[in-house]
Structure 1
């Protein structure tokens, strides 16, 4: 049994004009120690998926269908007090902005000790020792001093390391990292991602990395999912998708990388923009932006097709597979 299994997950947001679907037919599993990347443009539904796993979607959002099974237990059905035993304890989440995560009027030590005492029966002195160990683990210099400092006294990279340390406080089985390096400069980004990778490998912690950076995904994760308009349109081993993207949208993301353009030329880009939830196109949601669009793409939602070790939701890929199968029979 997988550590975490998401089955047919659907999330809606209730608006005055009616409910709109933010996530549709999300299916994936996560094994202990596995590192999964979730990529896509802003508005693809990546962060909504991360919040949905922990049932942190607030009204007017709600899980309308499906299950999020953690060790066989559906988190979507748990009551608030039951979820509190899972959140932070068994599944931790690292958010984009550490200043939104850390309380500005409490010292780092107070926040870490408070987190431990909320989930574990221990003395405050023992909790402080564990907090100090975690700061050392994430390579914070002078950790004893940092425990008594406030968030505003630390640099952005330091604050992000502290957020990671808080995520590791209770030795979780899964960490969900939502754009953990967005606000940091490139050199600090690399340090933070190397740190997270090493910590996950050392502690056999499963990682869900939500990002728009394909370079980070290729270096850190073993498997990846590409999302578009609330749906997974390609998933499989990271190396296989990076080296041979099959969905036109994934190909567009790869071609948009700076290193794919020649010196002096404009960067490649996918024409158009992600559609708003209220106006998702009929058929394949990517069809208005796709250079390979066929008539069937404008009317029918593509099923997920097996292609090598990947699954791809694309009519063109499905047609190519059918033609290949017919050729093999002949």
Structure 2
């Protein structure tokens, strides 16, 4: 059984005159110890999905329908008190900006001890010892000294390491990391990502990494989900998606990577913009930006088809696969030589 199972999840923002849908029929699962990436541009619905999983959606956002199960337990019906048993202790979240999580008027140590003692009956001295051990575990130099310092006295990379240490204190089974290196210098990002990967491997923790950067995904994730306008458009093993992307949107994201352009050449980009919630296109949401769009794409929403080891929601792929017979032979016309 999957550790986390999401089925047909729909999220809407309740408005006075209309409901604006942010997630459409999202389904996926995460196994114990698995590292999953969720990729897409800003506005794709990645963070909303992450917040939905831990019941942190800001009003007027609500889960309209669907199921989120953790270890077989339905999460969408839990009370606030029941969530205290899950959030942090079973499912933890790391945000883009560590200062959102850290209290600026409390020392790092006070916050770590408070996190431990809010879920256990451990005494202060033992909690302090455990906190310092976790600071050392995430490779913070002079952990006893950092324990006494305040967040503003630490660098951005150090603060993010503190957050990872706090998350590990309660031994969660899943960590959701929402763009955890966005606010950091490029030279610090690789170290934080490698640390996150290592602590998950060492502790058997599953990781859901939310990012817009395929370069990050290739180093961390075993499996990848690509989202566009609130829908999953492709998912499969990370290396397969990077080496052989199926959906035109995935192809566009990979072609836009800096390494895909020659030195001095203009970077590739996907024409157009992500649609707003109040202006969602009919049919396939990507069709206004897709070079392969047809009337079928403009009028209908594609379902998922298997293409290799990935699943993809694209009529162009579906039509191409339909031209093969069940024996694997090509059914289209072959030109005479």
Q: TM-score under structure 1 normalisation?
A: 0.98
| 2:329 alignment partner in structure 1 | 328
C-alpha distance after superposition, 1:71-123 (max 9, x if no partner): 10011111110011100001110000011110000000000100111111111
C-alpha distance after superposition, 1:158-195 (max 9, x if no partner): 00100111111101100000000001111210000010
Is 2:211 the partner of 1:184? no
| 2:206 alignment partner in structure 1 | 206
| 1:43 alignment partner in structure 2 | 43
User: 1:56, CA displacement in angstroms?
Assistant: 1.1
Is 2:104 the partner of 1:104? yes
Q: Is the 8 A contact 2:5 2:29 kept in 1?
A: yes
| 2:309 alignment partner in structure 1 | 309
User: 1:328, CA displacement in angstroms?
Assistant: 2.5
Separation in 2 of the partners of 1:182 and 1:92? 19
| 1:72 alignment partner in structure 2 | 72
User: 1:307, CA displacement in angstroms?
Assistant: 0.9
Separation in 1 of the partners of 2:12 and 2:230? 10
Is 2:282 the partner of 1:282? yes
User: 1:41, CA displacement in angstroms?
Assistant: 0.2
Number of aligned pairs? 330
| 2:124 alignment partner in structure 1 | 124
Q: Is the 8 A contact 2:94 2:164 kept in 1?
A: yes
- Please give the residue correspondences for 1:246-325 in structure 2 after superposition, counting only pairs within 5 Å: 246-325=246-325
| 2:195 alignment partner in structure 1 | 195
User: 1:263, CA displacement in angstroms?
Assistant: 1.5
Gaps of 5+ in 2: 332-337
| 1:168 alignment partner in structure 2 | 168
Separation in 1 of the partners of 2:182 and 2:330? 50
User: 1:324, CA displacement in angstroms?
Assistant: 1.8
Separation in 2 of the partners of 1:328 and 1:63? 44
Separation in 1 of the partners of 2:88 and 2:39? 24
| 2:335 alignment partner in structure 1 | none
Q: Is the 8 A contact 2:92 2:176 kept in 1?
A: yes
Separation in 2 of the partners of 1:15 and 1:317? 36
User: 1:58, CA displacement in angstroms?
Assistant: 2.5
User: 1:252, CA displacement in angstroms?
Assistant: 0.2
Separation in 1 of the partners of 2:128 and 2:85? 21
Separation in 2 of the partners of 1:179 and 1:76? 24
Gaps of 5+ in 1: none
Separation in 2 of the partners of 1:17 and 1:165? 44
Is 2:233 the partner of 1:233? yes
| 1:20 alignment partner in structure 2 | 20
RMSD: 1.0
User: 1:329, CA displacement in angstroms?
Assistant: 7.8
| 1:6 alignment partner in structure 2 | 6
| Shift in alpha-carbon separation, 1:329–1:195, aligned structure 2, 3 A | closer
Q: Secondary structure at the match of 2:232?
A: strand
Separation in 2 of the partners of 1:329 and 1:228? 31
| 2:334 alignment partner in structure 1 | none
Separation in 2 of the partners of 1:329 and 1:321? 9
Is 2:27 the partner of 1:57? no
Q: TM-score under structure 2 normalisation?
A: 0.96
Q: Secondary structure at the match of 1:245?
A: coil
Separation in 1 of the partners of 2:27 and 2:249? 19
